[in-house]
Structure 1
Amino acid sequence: MIKKVLLGVLAYIIGISIGVYFESFFRETIQDIFKFTTSNKIQFRGKNIYFSIGGIFKYILSFTLMLFLFSNLNLKLKQVIKNTVILLLIFGISLFVISAINANLKVIECTACDNGIVRIHWNGINYDLIIGLSAILAIIPSIIRLVKPKLKKTP
């Protein structure tokens, strides 16, 4: 029991570290997706200065990593690698789709845009929502793996 608690705390700390380390990468990736999926109809204005995206997505990433660890604790390495690939694929696809939908909605809702080009501030994107929702969608298979055995035991 103590081993599981320590592993959970370690996974949570690693998740926060990943969030801090990859924060600018996620930010730039989402901005690139916004431009790409709208055929450059979104332009960013102002200075690209930020202190931090926020804290919510870091906690969600930490929670995701912790749940992933617990759902794969007693599995063989081959299955853990397969589950890791699935998690990363779902995360990447979700990040792309959510960003694309968000970007295109911004273009659609702009009624006073010059030549259909939307100008938003660099911080005009809700990065926490996009990354957090992507992480939540990516962890769903792991949650199912955790809950499924318990549901079978219930009469």
Structure 2
Amino acid sequence: MTERIHTYCAQCFAGCGVVAHIDNGRFVRVTPDREHPNGGICSKTQAAPQLVYDPNRLKVPLKRTRPKGDPDPGWQRISWDEALDTIAARLNAIKAEHGPEAVAFYRPSVAGSAASDYWPWWTRLANAFGSPNRVSATHICNWHRDSGSSYT
């Protein structure tokens, strides 16, 4: 028997109401919650089960070992510490050569995920780095609300 859980989509800021269908403990399908004001879902939401179970889903840091353009990038698994150290070193090298304004801090659309509250600390990181450049994304089905709200 399939269990139906009323919840919301966390793939963008709209938070559309959905019904998650769980079959034997596995997320198998998502459908719109018709009682939610939006009453529909987009293709990203429809693809949620495939995103969750995709065998190629990236779950660990990987480092390219061959030059860009090589048909085989030679991905090698590295530790989270090495990944963060590599990122910090590259950011500091850019800052040293071109100044902090050469780096923009990008905010993807991750509402409802574990990272949905990160914008304040991301802003603090950008400020500490010295960059005034912060870029934000929205989503295809709600950009008009985001844009309109910025003008009122």
Larger Rg: 2
Q: When the two structures are superposed, what TM-score results if normalisation uses the length of structure 1?
A: 0.23
RCO higher in structure (CA 8 A, sep ≥6): 1
Hey, which of these two has a bigger chunk of helix by percent?
1
When normalised by structure 2's length, the TM-score is 0.23
Higher strand share: 2
